[in-house]
């Protein structure tokens, strides 16, 4: 696939969606962690997520950090670099997709710094991409790195989970606000919208999970 992309001039971002024990508890991480059966056919999941990649979440904070999992994730980046870090189609790498909003931010920042340094040492031409953990603000992320060279902050926009709207123009206005509000404009790095959707609501059958209450 990478060879085909190279042939046609397509640049590839390698984005790690699944980390050991889940970085967010969502099924897009490969593990829908934390669920409870309500009856024989229905369960709840979203309200009791328990991602364990970073450590033990006690419902309010991470009261312990799983350094073995963090090291595993760093080694995963090393392996990706060894395999494809010098491929002509690969121009960027993102070490983890969508760490959840309750992530321990200092620990996540350390992980980002370690993995970026690995990338710089292996191939300084690669762009380092990091997800904002659903905190899209320069006040959170501008101290991550002193420089901004070959760095991009990744944010995701899904309007389906916003307050229902009746006009396409209202969705457009919301997206523009998301991109150009004071917090977003304060970010010193390039900001990429790495994921988005044209879906305007979540009424599709089982979009939030089959029989998930």
What total number of domains does the chain contain?
1
Structure confidence at residue 205 (pLDDT): 60
Considering the domain boundaries, does residue 136 fall inside one?
A: yes
Q: CA 87 → CA 33, 116, 122, 167, distances in Å? A: 35, 18, 12, 44
Query: CA 155 to CA 199: how far, in whole Å?
Result: 17
Cα 141 versus chain centre, distance: 14
CATH number at residue 81: 3.20.20.80
Considering the domain boundaries, does residue 54 fall inside one?
A: yes
Convert the pLDDT of each residue in 91-118 to its tens digit.
Answer: 999 999 999 999 999 999 999 999 999 9
Structure confidence at residue 210 (pLDDT): 67
Query: CA 200 to CA 186: how far, in whole Å?
Result: 28
Tell whether the model's pLDDT for residue 21 goes beyond 80: yes
Residue 124 contacts residue 86 (beta carbons within 8 Å): no
Structure confidence at residue 28 (pLDDT): 81
**Mean pLDDT computed over every residue of the chain:** 92
Structure confidence at residue 117 (pLDDT): 98
Structure confidence at residue 165 (pLDDT): 84
DSSP string across 27-69: GGGT-----EESSSS-EE-GGG----SSEEE-SSSEEEE-HHH
Considering the domain boundaries, does residue 120 fall inside one?
A: yes
Considering the domain boundaries, does residue 204 fall inside one?
A: no
Structure confidence at residue 112 (pLDDT): 98
The more confidently predicted of residues 11 and 210 is 11
The more confidently predicted of residues 202 and 1 is 1
Query: CA 29 to CA 22: how far, in whole Å?
Result: 6
Convert the pLDDT of each residue in 44-94 to its tens digit.
Answer: 877 777 789 999 998 889 999 999 999 999 999 999 999 999 999 999 999
Range in 36-40, 182-186, 209-213 the model is least confident about: 209-213
Considering the domain boundaries, does residue 212 fall inside one?
A: no
Considering the domain boundaries, does residue 105 fall inside one?
A: yes
Convert the pLDDT of each residue in 157-198 to its tens digit.
Answer: 988 888 888 888 998 999 999 999 999 999 999 999 999 988
Dihedral angle computed from the Cα positions of residues 94, 96, 102 and 106, in that order, rounded to the nearest 10 degrees: -70
Considering the domain boundaries, does residue 150 fall inside one?
A: yes
Considering the domain boundaries, does residue 52 fall inside one?
A: yes
Domain span including residue 85? 2-197
Structure confidence at residue 119 (pLDDT): 98
């Amino acid at each position: 696939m990478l060879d085909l992309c190279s042939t046609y001039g397509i640049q590839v971002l390698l984005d790690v969606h699944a980390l050991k024990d889940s970085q967010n508890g969502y099924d897009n991480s490969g593990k829908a962690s934390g669920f409870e059966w309500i009856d024989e056919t229905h369960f709840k999941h979203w309200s009791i997520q328990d991602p364990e990649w970073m450590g033990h979440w006690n419902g309010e904070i991470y009261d312990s950090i799983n350094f073995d999992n963090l090291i595993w994730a760093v080694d995963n980046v090393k392996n990706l670099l060894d395999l494809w870090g010098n491929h002509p189609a690969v121009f960027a790498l993102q070490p983890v997709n969508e760490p959840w909003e309750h992530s321990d931010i200092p620990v996540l920042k350390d992980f980002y710094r370690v993995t970026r340094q690995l990338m710089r040492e292996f191939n300084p031409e690669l762009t380092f991409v990091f997800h904002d953990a659903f905190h899209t603000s320069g006040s959170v992320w501008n101290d991550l790195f002193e420089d901004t060279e070959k760095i991009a902050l990744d944010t995701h926009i899904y309007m389906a989970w916003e307050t229902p709207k009746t006009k396409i123009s209202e969705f457009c206005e919301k997206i523009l606000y998301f991109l150009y509000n004071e917090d977003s404009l304060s970010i010193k790095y390039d900001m990429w919208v790495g994921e988005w959707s044209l879906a305007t609501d979540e009424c599709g059958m089982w979009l939030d999970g089959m029989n998930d209450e």
